[in-house]
Structure 1
Amino acid sequence: MHDDHELVRLVGKLDLRAKVRLLAGGSVWRTCAEPSIGLRALTFSDGPAGVRGPGWDERRTSLAVPSPTALGATWDEDLVHRLGALLAAESRRKGVDVLLAPVLNLHRTPYGGRHFECFAEDPLLTARLGVAYVQGVQSGGVAAAPKHFVANETETDRLTHDVRVSERTLRELYLAPFEAVVEAGAWAVMSAYNGVNGHPMSENPLLTGVLKEEWGFDGVVVSDWGAVRTTVESASSGQDLSMPGPWGPWGDLLVAAVEAGEVAESAIDDKVLRLLRLAARVGALESGAEREEFAPAVNDAALLREAVSASTVLLRNNGILPLHPGRTIALIGPGAAAPRVQGGGSSGLYPSAENSLLDALTSRAEVVHAPGVRINDEPTPVRAPVQVRVLGQNDEVLFEERRLTGRILETEEVPGARVLEISTTLHVTETGPWRLAVAGYGRLTLDVDGTRVLDVVQPVDTDDPAVKHLRPPHHEVEVHLEKTQVELVARRELGEDSGMASLLAADPPTPNADQEFGAAIEAASRSDVAIVVVSTTDAIEGEGRDRTTLSLPGEQDALVTAVCLANPNTVVVVNSGGPVLLPWRDDTAAVLLTWFPGQEGGHGLADVLFGEREPGGRLPTTWPVRESDVPVANFLPDNQKLEYDEGLDIGYRAWAAHDVEPAYWFGHGLGYTTWDYLGARAERGAVRVRLRNTGRRRGREVVQVYLSREDSTTPRPRRWLGGFASVVADAGETVEVLVEIPPQATRHWENGWVTESGGFTVHIGPNAGATRIRLAARHVLRPR
């Protein structure tokens, strides 16, 4: 590993133009190389629920781990660390040096469209799991880049809105997880698109004043893709690397700014030094750390399957779970056969394997599947092999290849490209009106057996990269097709700054909705047990947009209600990344949350249903009864400004402050056993808790400690999480667990960190709304 003296010497070997060249991407996913000092390009990849690798190609698959909300539900740092190490091995396999993860933003409100990528609504839980994730990834020689620094909790107008937040709220909530991962040694941090208190984050004083100077961060601040929009202001700030490139506001413009004295060359030197330090850490400098292959130390499928059961939250159970063998099962809902294993947006990848609950249960029981309802009107990409051609001005073929799907996000970029063409043979399985669609920007056409059926122009209507490069607008047409095969040819123009994302989609005639619904109810009435899988869609939970409702899409609520009436032994499985309304929850026999469970979701859930594993999850965010109860609902910017005027009261803190009972509190989750909290005592910097497993089987309990301060001289939340620890015990066994309370749990920001004299009341229990033991405030919980 190079020391800083050697790195400073290498910086000194470069002239200004060479140094500035290193500070912007050499391409979309790679930095620039500099052979004169032995520096190769660094490769970046999106995370956090897997390592896609550079680019989008369905032929290059990846391990799909459970979504961060699922990892948040584990409350298990060891498991998250092991998954981080697995992702490091995946990164090495794909030639990735920097994984753009984890997401440390908070669940400020359940309407956040991208909250499936965030761990929790609480800063302490987020911080502890974020540290485990970062250290797991970096244990494999790959840099983690925690994001999005900072206050990036809303997707609406995300490129431009400015968050207005008090310094105390910023310090105690939104900066806290980032401070923890920097203290733990994160090698990179990603700055956000949004602004905070009047400054875009790519040029915000927080990058230098807090992140680098106060916290001592010695790594690289990489921008979110396209977030750097100025030259002098951003380069004079703590922003180190502008991605992607080589285009953008740095480059020649930055060289000129330095030569004009508008940006100090010493600032450029510091940025290059940080980049070389990162390169040395990941083995991208000659004579630096060797670029080894870090093979996974565990069985991939086994670990991913373990993570599913560990993150599954049992909200309700009348005793029906675990299921007894030999019972007939009606498996209902489209998500039972086609689950959502991941959220939508830049974190998306192509899973190396997938198994549904239908797949997993069919091998264990007598199962009949009935979708019941349709929940997604988005066009379905053609799933047969397609021919992709890049054409020039006169339709000459500049490049062609075979792909596996009609959704093409990237292909070879060649000079002179004018048109992208996708063609395939569609096997018509049903006679009737087929819905055909194309997507992209520019002129879009679709031919069926040589006949033009669609010809439209779609102008570029957004700057948001998630829309432009992942989900451009689509146009559809209904065509009557016979039972045979037809040739489909879709074309789209390739204009300047319009991306390459294109789509050729085909959906067969839709079945009669009443008949589908009735078939599901009939199946439920004839079976011993009904399992209904309800799901969200990419249109509801995805990057670049927030949610407009917490209700499930389509007629899923009506379906669950009808199935419960037809069969009292109804188990509902909720396949979503964040909270949804559950108006039927009291009518069910059991309710399970699986989040977005990754590629082993089906097998992992089956393990839970049949009791081979306990549902280990606890809620990382509070779930409401009704939308009108949500205490923080102002998630939409007003005139590009977003006021965080609720201060410290988000999540369970806000529910407590408003004296409103949610459907399920933060921290809630049932296992397959029961627990008695027998007693507790406060120690220096910790609380020792004694409890007994009062059930009939071995189980795990997450013991949570909340603090309050009724006589405080400064405003505080009603209660806040001070610490947590898990314990495992056999049936009838009594155990003790030590819950450490970190110093930051008892301090507050008042022009600096302050610990108020006097005592804090300690509340101990299984969730934020059901604390079983209360210890009176006698003394400050000083550090151990």
Structure 2
Amino acid sequence: PVPLDPPLARRPGTDEPGVRVRMLDAAGGELYEEHRLSGRILEPRLVAGAHTVEVAARLVPEEAGVWTFGVAGWGRMSLTVDGRAMVEGVFARDTDDPTAVHVKPPLRTGRVRLAAGRPVEVVARRELGGDDGRAVMLCAAPPEGDPAEAVAAAARAAAAADVAVVVAGTTEESESEGRDRSTLALPGSQDALVRAVLGAQPHTVVCVNAGGPVELPWHGEAPALLLTWFGGQEAGAGLADVLTGAAEPGGRLPTTWPVSLEGTPVRETRPTGGRLVYEEGLHLGYRAWLRAGTEPAFWFGHGLGYTRWAYESMEAGPAGDDGAFTVRVRVRNTGERPGREVVQVYLERPDSALERPVRWLAGYAAVEAEPGAAVEAVVRVGTRAVVHWSVEEHGWRREPGVFTVRAGRSAGDLRLTGTVETR
């Protein structure tokens, strides 16, 4: 269930879109009333003598069946649908997490069968007191449909269309800053949905709306795959611009995306006996894949646009007294429209006396070019890219010698190679 909002929720009495919020005294008398557009009330207005927060809405079910209603908060709470109790009890706070207390308290739910088109009044109450915060939420969910039938209907719609756009992704229930994920799989039947649409329509774009890596077992079958991350209020307009070609998708992955959770080189993050040993050391992220010699689904730095690029030449160095140097990479837009490329430079030191990553990012530069035009990307490699931390000397030190310099499109797609010597 999600917080009630228009068009499902109407304010009792006035029938305005939204909900009615009241502050009541200990005897149930009204102290204050206001109109809100959402049943998610994180900070109801405090008034003298306030004892209970009440959130009420008039709901007209769009479909018949078993609806789920919920109230979120702590302490004594109740939830009724047309006077029928769905939730009633005292729910003691069992966490010190401020997000759970003040932003997303747990939801207590009840279910009731409703007739389509017959209005019901839903009322949630929460008593105030102690250090339990005052957030309260009135939530609802329509009857659950048959996932298999929903997937089949989507496939039929895709087959009858010229182009299909599938938007999949995570939700706040599956991906949150407040807890770790237990899986990288997309929640629900989304993988089945994507596969069904891909099978029905060869012209399909799959948009993945997620805040971090997820498993995409069908990614090799998708003609176009767009990672949208978590957009803001203009996410829809931005996505439309990219899909229609008014704007080029210009992002590059800041993380490496695995084929599956089981295939990730570093995945054990649970402390044992209260102690977590970071055995991976320097080999984090793409460095872990490079050390393991395994291939992810998408490398760190990966990203495509609406044109193609040829990497023609590279000039590296010489290094200065501080070890810093410049890399110049000439790239050409070989496609049919203007574009933007992010040229990435990585270093290697296979004969090092120290433990080092197989390779590491040293710098990058973004360039733009018209169709057929060549452009030079200038990447400044700073001192920090060629130094190491000495535990014995408690400081940064430089190991003189020859570094291999590679340039390309990602940690796993490097087109040009050179060397530079530092003193």
TM-score (norm 2): 0.91
Show CA shifts across 1:728-774 (max 9, x none): 11111111121001111111111111111122111110100111111
Distance 2:182 2:256 in 1: 18
Cα offset, 1:543, TM superposition: 2.0
Within-5 A mapping of 1:190-201: none
Distance 2:84 2:371 in 1: 70
Show CA shifts across 1:582-603 (max 9, x none): 1111112111111112111112
Cα offset, 1:629, TM superposition: 1.4
- Pick which of 414-423 and 626-635 moved more: 414-423
- Pairing partner for 1:569 from 180, 183, 203: 203
Please state whether the residue corresponding to 1:606 is helix, strand or coil.
Answer: helix
**Count of residue correspondences:** 403
Within-5 A mapping of 1:124-273: none
Distance 1:592 1:779 in 2: 40
Show CA shifts across 1:603-625 (max 9, x none): 21121112121111111110001
Within-5 A mapping of 1:580-595: 580-595=214-229
- Pairing partner for 1:762 from 385, 402, 405: 405
| Identity score, percent | 52
Residue 721, structure 1, aligned to residue 364, structure 2: no
Partner of residue 75, structure 1: none
The answer to whether the Cα contact below 8 Å between 1:382 and 1:506 also exists between their aligned partners in 2 is no
Please state whether the residue corresponding to 1:487 is helix, strand or coil.
Answer: strand
For 1:628, give the aligned amino acid: E
Quickly say closer, same or farther: Cα 1:453–1:682, change in 2 above 3 A: closer
Cα offset, 1:636, TM superposition: 2.7
The answer to whether the Cα contact below 8 Å between 1:723 and 1:741 also exists between their aligned partners in 2 is yes
Within-5 A mapping of 1:274-673: 378-383=1-6, 384=9, 385-482=18-115, 483-673=117-307
Quickly say closer, same or farther: Cα 1:612–1:637, change in 2 above 3 A: same
The answer to whether the Cα contact below 8 Å between 2:86 and 2:109 also exists between their aligned partners in 1 is no
For 2:367, give the aligned amino acid: V
Please state whether the residue corresponding to 1:515 is helix, strand or coil.
Answer: helix
The answer to whether the Cα contact below 8 Å between 2:151 and 2:192 also exists between their aligned partners in 1 is no
The answer to whether the Cα contact below 8 Å between 1:608 and 1:614 also exists between their aligned partners in 2 is yes
For 1:644, give the aligned amino acid: Y
For 1:387, give the aligned amino acid: R
Structure number with the higher helix fraction is: 1
Please state whether the residue corresponding to 1:657 is helix, strand or coil.
Answer: helix
Show CA shifts across 1:170-209 (max 9, x none): xxxxxxxxxxxxxxxxxxxxxxxxxxxxxxxxxxxxxxxx
Cα offset, 1:779, TM superposition: 1.1
The answer to whether the Cα contact below 8 Å between 1:444 and 1:493 also exists between their aligned partners in 2 is yes
Partner of residue 745, structure 1: 385
Distance 2:405 2:217 in 1: 34
The answer to whether the Cα contact below 8 Å between 2:152 and 2:196 also exists between their aligned partners in 1 is no
Please state whether the residue corresponding to 1:643 is helix, strand or coil.
Answer: coil
Per chain length, whose mean CA-contact separation is higher, i.e. which structure has more relative contact order (CA < 8 Å, sep 6+)? 1
The answer to whether the Cα contact below 8 Å between 1:568 and 1:589 also exists between their aligned partners in 2 is yes
For 1:583, give the aligned amino acid: P
Cα offset, 1:432, TM superposition: 2.7
Cα offset, 1:640, TM superposition: 4.1
Cα offset, 1:475, TM superposition: 1.3
For 1:441, give the aligned amino acid: W
Distance 2:63 2:245 in 1: 41
For 1:410, give the aligned amino acid: E
Residue 732, structure 1, aligned to residue 366, structure 2: no
Show CA shifts across 1:371-412 (max 9, x none): xxxxxxx44434432221222332243433221111111122
Distance 2:170 2:229 in 1: 10
- Pairing partner for 2:414 from 763, 766, 771: 771
Distance 2:274 2:5 in 1: 39
Partner of residue 349, structure 2: 709
Distance 2:120 2:230 in 1: 36
Distance 1:444 1:665 in 2: 49
Distance 2:302 2:64 in 1: 50
Distance 2:108 2:45 in 1: 24
Partner of residue 14, structure 2: none
Partner of residue 335, structure 2: 695
Cα offset, 1:509, TM superposition: 2.3
Show CA shifts across 1:395-436 (max 9, x none): 243433221111111122345433211112222333332211
Cα offset, 1:447, TM superposition: 2.1
The answer to whether the Cα contact below 8 Å between 1:447 and 1:490 also exists between their aligned partners in 2 is yes
Show CA shifts across 1:470-508 (max 9, x none): 111111111122322222211112231111111111222
Partner of residue 13, structure 2: none
Distance 2:235 2:114 in 1: 36
The answer to whether the Cα contact below 8 Å between 1:705 and 1:723 also exists between their aligned partners in 2 is yes
For 1:762, give the aligned amino acid: V
Which of the pair has more CA radius of gyration? 2
Distance 1:524 1:420 in 2: 46
Partner of residue 12, structure 2: none
The answer to whether the Cα contact below 8 Å between 1:466 and 1:543 also exists between their aligned partners in 2 is no
For 1:381, give the aligned amino acid: L
Distance 2:56 2:210 in 1: 34
The answer to whether the Cα contact below 8 Å between 1:382 and 1:504 also exists between their aligned partners in 2 is no
Quickly say closer, same or farther: Cα 1:516–1:380, change in 2 above 3 A: farther
Distance 1:571 1:747 in 2: 44
Please state whether the residue corresponding to 1:468 is helix, strand or coil.
Answer: helix
For 2:238, give the aligned amino acid: G
For 2:286, give the aligned amino acid: Y
Distance 1:686 1:642 in 2: 39
Distance 1:458 1:382 in 2: 25
Structure number with the higher strand fraction is: 2
The answer to whether the Cα contact below 8 Å between 1:616 and 1:700 also exists between their aligned partners in 2 is yes
Partner of residue 290, structure 1: none
Cα offset, 1:697, TM superposition: 1.3
The answer to whether the Cα contact below 8 Å between 1:447 and 1:489 also exists between their aligned partners in 2 is yes
Quickly say closer, same or farther: Cα 1:415–1:649, change in 2 above 3 A: farther
Please state whether the residue corresponding to 1:581 is helix, strand or coil.
Answer: coil
Please state whether the residue corresponding to 1:498 is helix, strand or coil.
Answer: coil
Show CA shifts across 1:284-308 (max 9, x none): xxxxxxxxxxxxxxxxxxxxxxxxx
For 1:404, give the aligned amino acid: L
Please state whether the residue corresponding to 2:232 is helix, strand or coil.
Answer: coil
Distance 2:363 2:151 in 1: 47
The answer to whether the Cα contact below 8 Å between 1:540 and 1:546 also exists between their aligned partners in 2 is no
